[in-house]
Amino acid sequence: MTDSTSITSQYAIQLLKAEGLHADKACKLYNMGDHKSAVNMLITGDVDAAIVSDHAIRQIPASMQEQIVVAYTCDQPLPGSVFMGNPQMDRTHLKQISKAILDFTNHTPDGIRLMRRIGDHGLSLVSPST
């Protein structure tokens, strides 16, 4: 897995548990740090399975994609990109940063192309910055 605290990894661990496989007993989990490292370990045979996001699969080179077999795809959407601010950051500044990110990704040609390239349709504010 990329990181044991990621939404993708936590969801996969719950799926395993629902099937009666407790990740701490049924297998050994490795925190790879990033998706490409997890896929590389799979391709080289160092691990039998990897947990990565579907966005990551679309972003890796086609030559790597051809070397993997997708065993399961989640049928419910999971957040792809999350931008966070330090809790001590001035709220006005945080709102300005949030607006700039949202404006770029949702309303500029370059931002829209970027979102499409990584498999997202854009960004939305999850909870208002107050």
Digit-coded pLDDT (tens) for 85-99: 777 888 888 888 888
Q: Is 20 helix (H, G, I), strand (E, B) or coil?
A: coil
46 and 90 together in one domain: no
Which range of residues forms the domain containing residue 97?
81-130
Q: Is 52 helix (H, G, I), strand (E, B) or coil?
A: coil
90 and 126 together in one domain: yes
Cα separation, 45 vs 5, whole angstroms = 24
Per the structure block, which two tokens stand in for 47?
């691990």
91 and 52 together in one domain: no
Q: String of b and e for 63-80 (b: at least 16 CB within 10 Å)?
A: eeeeeeeeeeeeeeeeeb
In a domain, 72, yes or no: no
Segment holding 92, helix H or strand E: helix 91-107
11 and 61 together in one domain: yes
Name the pTM for this structure: 0.53
Q: How many domains does the chain have?
A: 2
What's the mean pLDDT when you consider all of the chain? 78
pLDDT at 48 over 60: yes
Query: Is residue 98 a contact partner of residue 91, using CB atoms and an 8 Å limit?
Result: no
